[in-house]
Chain A
């Protein structure tokens, strides 16, 4: 059973809505990640946090805003999204940044923007 949980599992939102995705890891890890997975494309790394400090922001549009209040929780705040933002959003954690190859993923939030 995964030690990383994500809510909601499915989300449909209009382009003018504001919503948030939540991720929680119960593994005692120090690093957390947000990925976007679109059909037939590689996982796209969006944000990386280590001990609540953001260490990577991969040219992600400002309509995606991450928040990491503590090392166990990670949020992705969404506002004024576009239809092309529809995808599976995966959260992951690893023991440390140096162990980024050993990532434990949550089940993802399937987002549809209408």
Chain B
């Protein structure tokens, strides 16, 4: 089983749509959780942290469910500029940072 698993997509949505991605992790000792964004042919960039209590940043909401070992990212009112690959990231402590393979999102006009 992969340590961090994501639906690769692609998700094709119209502008203004709400889209949600899920990610599951296998190690119950995982400590911290994040979403990164990677634009086509660019480097990954930290998007936001994920907490059990939820974390909202504008149109983006991230949620953690420790019992079920999954993380979600919700994007409301999608923009063309949201088109990217979204990477789920889990840390095990220290420098043990595990990246998922990513979910591709295409937002169309």
Contact = CB atoms under 8 A, between A and B. Distances in A.
Interface of A: 2, 4, 31, 33, 40-43, 45, 48, 50, 55-56, 90, 97-98, 100-103, 105-108
B34 to A, nearest CB: 5
B4 interface: yes
Given A48-B95, A108-B43, A101 B101 contact: no
B43 A106 contact: yes
B43 A107 contact: yes
A55 B95 contact: yes
Interface of B: 2, 4, 8, 32, 34, 42-46, 49, 87, 89, 91, 94-102
The secondary structure that dominates the B interface is strand
Nearest to A50: B95
A107 B49 CA distance: 22
Given A2-B43, A40-B8, A108-B43, A103 B97 contact: yes
A56 B97 CA distance: 12
14 contacts: A40-B101, A42-B99, A43-B87, A43-B99, A50-B95, A56-B95, A97-B95, A98-B94, A100-B96, A101-B34, A101-B89, A101-B97, A103-B97, A105-B43
A107 B42 CA distance: 6
Contacts of A105: 43-45
Given A90-B43, A105-B44, A106-B43, A100 B99 contact: no
A42 B94 contact: no
